[in-house]
Amino acid sequence: MTNQYLSGLVLEGRRVVVVGGGGVAQRRLPRLLESGARIDLVSPSITPTIEGLLGNPSLTWIERGYAAGDLDGAWYVVVATDDAAVNDQVSAEAEERRIFCVRSDDRSRATAWTPASGQHDNVTIGVLGGGDHRRSAAVRDAILEGLRIGELAARDVDRRPGVYLVGGGPGDPDLITVRGRRLLAEADVVVADRLAPQQLLDELHPDVELFDAAKLPRGRAAQQEEINRILVERGQQGKVVVRLKGGDPYVFGRGFEEALACAAAGVPWTVVPGITSSISVPAVSGIPVTHRGVTHEFTVVSGHIPPSHPDSLVNWDALAQLHGTLVLLMAVENLPAIASRLIEGGRPAGTPAAAIADGTLPGQRMVTSDLAGIAQAMADEGVGAPAIVVIGNVVEVAEQARVGSTTAEGVGDGSDVESA
């Protein structure tokens, strides 16, 4: 087996030549572009994805086959054609000019190998598995996962104090972002909503100071003030503070109120977006919020205030005139009034509707009806909050897919989705 010397190349501002415009080149180009290299791509044709990269000024497409002299001034060469004769020609010229050359077809004839690589913060991981691509990738992924979730000691290398507003996703702990999970592993303090993925709290380090935002004292307004106080106070103490929320911090999550409180106190803050339940919960239930030929828009609305309330900021009559999908959050209690107002405003009473409770969690349940009957259907089936309500023809489209599905895994199968 050939022995390799693993090294990090500084390619910024230096010429790199890539020969070939197919799938291998497509995979290599993004990281080469990230390195700051000046890349000349030599190929008579390229993939659509590579074509989309040509807006980057560091990438130039030379639209022809390889020719002698194309390596002039190059520091590094990637050969990725399906023509062995061309690959031999390029690697021979690279050898003659003492330019390190990677070959996608025959690593035994290359002077450089591309490691399985990945990045975590400012740490770059590169793994060479002796020619076994799958082994290299598996080891790389294991190292990156250890760094991301804090199992490796490197998690303490670059801890930046401040407040992090983290979206935990719709409920399933696997649906939090990689960065969100890593921050939980690095946290000194966690302030968690009741709708945040609760299983993640069991993974916290024993020394983490945990505040249950659902059980803070006094009323709702005072509760938010207390949350703000904790975030600011602990942030001023130089701690890593994670404010863990369900869904996305800025989708009816009061995240920006907390950001403003931190900004006013001079505490550094960062938002880490999450997967919003308004899209993801319908999706895992088999309902797309948009579908070609059915809807060109979807609208997400908070239903925590009834339409007749003087504090309501929603133009329900305007919503009733839309033809697209309407997604209601926090609307279970006021759903009868909301449905009536939409029907009064012109939305057909027979518009398909669905309600999904405990979305992405083991107890997920879904009921379907129409706009006029969805509130009663929920009551009859005992489906309560937290629930997402979807109104629109996409519900009917999803029903057609469920009826026609024969998959065993429940993809598009309503019975499996509802009992998940």
Tell me the sheet residues that pair with 299.
326
Burial of 8 (0-12, 13-18, 19+ CB in 10 A): exposed
Tokens coding 123: 């740490």
Considering 156, 202, 215, 311, which one is annotated as catalytic? 215
Angle, CA 70 vertex, CA 4 and CA 50 arms, to 5°? 80
Do 269 and 259 contact (CB within 8 A), yes or no? yes
Active site residue 121: no
Considering 40, 193, 248, 413, which one is annotated as catalytic? 193
Burial of 390 (0-12, 13-18, 19+ CB in 10 A): buried
Angle between helices 374-381 and 335-344 (to 10 degrees): 160
Do 346 and 311 contact (CB within 8 A), yes or no? no
Amino acid sitting at position 319 = L
Structure letter (DSSP) for residue 169: B
- Dihedral, 329, 307, 398, 197 alpha carbons, nearest 10: 10
Active site residue 193: yes
Tell me the sheet residues that pair with 341.
none
Sign for the CA dihedral angle at 70, 74, 79, 85 comes to: positive
Amino acid sitting at position 415 = S
Do 188 and 377 contact (CB within 8 A), yes or no? no
* Active site positions, annotated: 193, 215
